[in-house]
A and B are shown apart, each in its own frame.
Chain A
């Protein structure tokens, strides 16, 4: 079945460091791909998405490119801030429309 695998956390970075959170997927067909973010004490919210191969999703300085050849959707940000500390979930939309989430990666940014 469809699945999403994220890199293990927690990831701890200093402010202004470069961030990469790896995400790979297994799916039949051509799913849409998403990154959701969960700030402390809050529910998940959509961060960015990409609906087809080579699409780049971007929002709030974060970017991710849909790579069909490597079945990946890695999240990147050039310069993280303390306010980016959160749990990040990679997800795909299956052919039934259902969202399938990875296990989440905790990011902690220190001043």
Chain B
């Protein structure tokens, strides 16, 4: 089954404790992206990757890092989480030529205390 898998689904952590949210897709997609969803703001793009070893900033990249060492994986790293990063995070993937039709993971709800 074609899917985008995020882990963990729920995470509660404390300010400053480094964390990683994993994302993996099994569709051989070149394009992958991370979004955060906040009430009244919709989805905002954090980072995206057009292919292996190619990443770029989205609209709200501050406080986040990503890497793309393999085509299927695109982890999101919060080196020093802060309470304003409490949010619902989604990973998505698509083909390079079909970026407007993205396949989303089920989401990771993060709370930073």
Residue among B41, B45, B90, B99 making CB contact with A44, cutoff 8 Å: B90
User: A44 vs B103: C-alpha distance in the bound complex, in angstroms?
Assistant: 7
Interface residues of A in 15-61 (CB under 8 A from B): 32, 34, 41-46, 49
From the candidates B42, B45, B100, B105, name the one contacting A43 in the complex (CB within 8 A). B105
B12 part of interface (Cβ distance < 8 Å): no
A: residues with CB less than 8 A from B are 4, 32, 34, 41-46, 49, 89, 91, 93, 97-99, 101-104
How many angstroms from the CA of A104 to the CA of B100 in the assembled complex? 17
Q: Does B21 contact A (CB under 8 A)?
A: no
Q: B residues within 8 Å of A by Cβ?
A: 4, 37, 40-45, 48, 90, 92, 99-107
In the complex, chain B residues whose CB is within 8 Å of the CB of A44:
43, 90, 92, 102, 104
14 contacts between A and B (CB under 8 A): A32-B100, A42-B107, A43-B4, A43-B92, A44-B43, A44-B104, A45-B103, A89-B43, A91-B100, A93-B99, A93-B100, A99-B45, A99-B100, A103-B41
Is the pair B99, A104 in contact by a Cβ cutoff of 8 Å?
Answer: no
Q: A46-B102, A97-B99 are in contact. List 14 more A-B contacts (CB 8 A).
A: A41-B107, A44-B43, A44-B90, A44-B92, A44-B102, A44-B104, A45-B103, A46-B101, A98-B45, A98-B48, A99-B100, A103-B41, A104-B37, A104-B42
CA distance A43 to B92 in the complex (A): 9
The total of interchain contacts (Cβ-Cβ below 8 angstroms) comes to: 50
Interface secondary structure of A, over-half rule: strand
A4 to B44, CA, bound (A): 12
Closest Cβ neighbor of A92 among chain B residues: B100
User: Using Cβ atoms and an 8 Å threshold, which residues of chain B touch A89?
Assistant: 42-43
